[in-house]
Chains A and B, each alone.
Chain A
């Protein structure tokens, strides 16, 4: 038995490829998500350049279809999702006082599955053309699309979707089972709460996507007839399955952003969050209602007035808990000692922007009006207001706020503010005019338009805005690069934080907490600071700390599926068999080799504690 096997330190690349440490996996998610964010952003820039004047010929119509499909798919699945997982990994175990997530091995597997799914999808650019059926991949457009673009879409999402699903289960179990003593559910920081609800949504929303993608794959590779009306199929089944997944998906994205905003607003107002329990209730309610509204994406397919009305009312109902949240953020700031740090600027910018997206959302929820708005730029404006103006602004707030915790360095505030103002102004310049373009009749997903229809000026303004957003993003990357050359942050608690992640010394030890902390209330760290204590009260004596072993198997399992996907795309069964064999053999090894982890000995922990700087 090798339970007490000594601690093997790996270094460099091997360390990152085999890590099961949630903090490192968070960084991997952040880097990979950032990379795909740039790719998705470039695709958006190409589209805006094409549309900056009427009858432009910067890209061909076919390329434009590929760009819009890849932009949507990349941004949702390979930028926003991993960035959310980045913060969930980096922050949630720290906020609940845990040493790691419940399943560290599965956590690494989730990352590598996502990563290879994203790589697979993007390789389609080099291998005969990207998918071109929109990120929604409606049948029969997707089932009859030529080339193998849509096959890349199906398999890329299938692989990364599996990674997301196991990640969701992992965080649910972590939050339920691994909370520190005293950390009751109603003392959990709001970011942890939103991570919890989001993970629940992932658990129930991703299985339908899995099935939908299987059906689409069977249709394209094995000539199935689910969506083929000539043989009894029904295209509406795809639309239902896609949106049964797709609508909860947008709540999966927005809830952690809400959580990040809640942390930032409370911290920089120097007040506890207003209406904490109402916030928790609103989060759960939004998550629940998120499953009841998917038909509002399908108002115009003709399901009849009864179905449309039911789903319209359900959709409008979501405005209520969301409104509760907006007011609670405002009341948190009311009377607070507000510090306008960069993180706070993003949070303050988020509130009115997201409200605008919410208002157009309620407009779209009215079926009769939706017949006018449907498939126009009004819809494009709406979902960019909620996803960029909501999710991305929230994630940027989180990035500036948690960057010191993740990397032990702060980002430059001046560059941060330049980033905020260029991106924020650029964002409104890009998408505000698009509401009017839509109302004037410009359909979405068109590669060009004619002059003399009053569309020229607004499209031009929109493109200018897009360039501003690009400049803002470049400033962010400059800021990140500069920060790497800097020394450690002056303090482990640079923002005077309220929650447990700020109670840890820097750099964050591998085991997070030398002694599991005792939580005595909401805003656990703030309570101790207000009581004049230097740190958290420990709930246990210093002792040996059990740690999981690093493993290369998650990477190999994901590579196996990546290989098998190529076999399916190019119809070569031997490659499929080889790929699946790699995955199954790795699973077999994982199953039969007992992995008891190792212990960091009491003496080492005590040694670390001596050198602690707070």
Chain B
């Protein structure tokens, strides 16, 4: 069978993302990549924890962080993680329109999160907390910015994926791609769970 062919309900495999060797390889390779990303973010978290009280003349974490914004951002990202899980569920049932619907909602929520983050950063800069103002500033913007960069990359990724496959149905070629994106998106949410806990909530405790 041609791997690029639209799958029908009759020949639909149980795990379309792993039905070909290429799909299996991508699936495993991407998981391993996420394992590496864990250590990447750990390095950023370690640095942040080491430097978070070094705010010099700028505002401290307690003065700076506004929990309502963070809570809203958390909810947006958490919900987007759920909608991407719904999309994967649709993928497994060969329902491409449902998949597209849920991924578009995921994308919108992701963009909303990014908008909030940009707004938040602008506020902080206004209050004198910049990338160059202190070691805390550098560590904060690098950690949270790296996460934001991951969200932004994910948005570009899903836009490309959706446009490219808009009229294609689910095939053995694009099923792993959708699945990998969903994994990536969950991972970005996993990192955010630690960011809101370690950076924002612990920042309020001092």
Contacts and interface: CB of A to CB of B under 8 A. Distances in A.
B136 interface: yes
Interface string A191-232: 000000000000111111011101100110011111010011
B40 A225 contact: no
A102 B7 CA distance: 24
A453 interface: no
Contacts of A237: 46-47, 50-51
A172 B27 CA distance: 12
A203 B35 contact: yes
A356 interface: no
A588 B40 CA distance: 25
Interface stretch (A17-25, A589-597, A599-607): A589-597
Interface string B159-184: 01100100000000100000000000
A592 B60 CA distance: 46
Given A232-B54, A234-B135, A203 B40 contact: no
Interface string A227-245: 0100111100100110010
Interface in B116-150: 131-139, 142
Contacts of B32: 169, 172-173, 203
Contact of A225 (B3, B39, B132): B132
A204 B39 contact: yes
B40 A218 contact: no
A594 B36 CA distance: 27
Contacts of A204: 35-36, 39
Contacts of B25: 102-103, 173, 177-178
A225 B138 contact: yes
Nearest to B171: A594
B160 A588 contact: yes
Interface string A132-169: 00000000000000000000000000000000010001
A212 B40 CA distance: 10
Given A204-B36, A222-B131, A177 B51 contact: no
B50 A3 contact: no
B205 interface: no
Contacts of A224: 131-132, 138, 142
- The interface size bin for chain B is 35 or more
A204 B54 CA distance: 29
A208 B40 contact: yes
Contacts, number: 121
B115 interface: no
A306 interface: no
Nearest to A223: B132
Given A232-B56, A596-B3, A596-B4, A177 B36 contact: no
B27 to A, nearest CB: 9
Contacts of A165: 36
Nearest to A203: B36
Contact of A173 (B28, B35, B40): B28
B70 interface: no
Interface in A306-328: none
B2 interface: yes
A408 interface: no
A contacts with B: majority SS: helix
Nearest to B24: A177
B29 A232 contact: no
A539 interface: no
B62 interface: no
A594 B138 contact: no
A541 B139 CA distance: 59
Contacts of B142: 214-215, 218, 224, 226
B47 A241 contact: yes
Contacts of A206: 36
A232 B36 contact: no
B39 A226 contact: no
B34 to A, nearest CB: 10
A170 interface: yes
B56 A231 contact: yes
Given A3-B4, A102-B25, A207 B134 contact: no
B171 to A, nearest CB: 9
Contacts of B39: 204-205, 207-208
A588 B156 CA distance: 10
B19 interface: no
B33 interface: yes
Nearest to A209: B43
B160 A233 contact: no
Interface string B60-78: 0000000000000000000
B55 interface: yes
Given A177-B24, A228-B135, A232-B136, A169 B33 contact: yes
**Most chain B beta carbons < 10 A, residue from A1, A170, A173:** A173
**Most chain A beta carbons < 10 A, residue from B3, B32, B55, B131:** B32
A207 B47 contact: no
A280 to B, nearest CB: 20
A234 B25 CA distance: 41
A232 B53 CA distance: 8
Contacts of A241: 43, 47
Would you list the 8 A-B pairs with minimal beta carbon distance, nearest first? A232-B54, A232-B135, A207-B40, A224-B138, A102-B25, A211-B43, A233-B135, A225-B135
Interface of A: 1, 3, 102-103, 165, 169-170, 172-173, 176-178, 203-208, 210-212, 214-215, 218-219, 222-226, 228, 231-234, 237, 240-241, 244, 588, 591-592, 594, 596
Interface of B: 2-5, 21, 24-25, 28-29, 32-33, 35-37, 39-40, 42-44, 46-47, 50-51, 54-56, 131-139, 142, 160-161, 164, 173
27 contacts: A1-B2, A1-B5, A102-B25, A165-B36, A172-B28, A177-B21, A177-B24, A177-B25, A206-B36, A207-B39, A207-B40, A208-B40, A208-B42, A214-B142, A218-B138, A219-B138, A222-B131, A223-B131, A224-B142, A225-B135, A231-B133, A232-B54, A232-B135, A237-B50, A240-B46, A241-B43, A588-B160
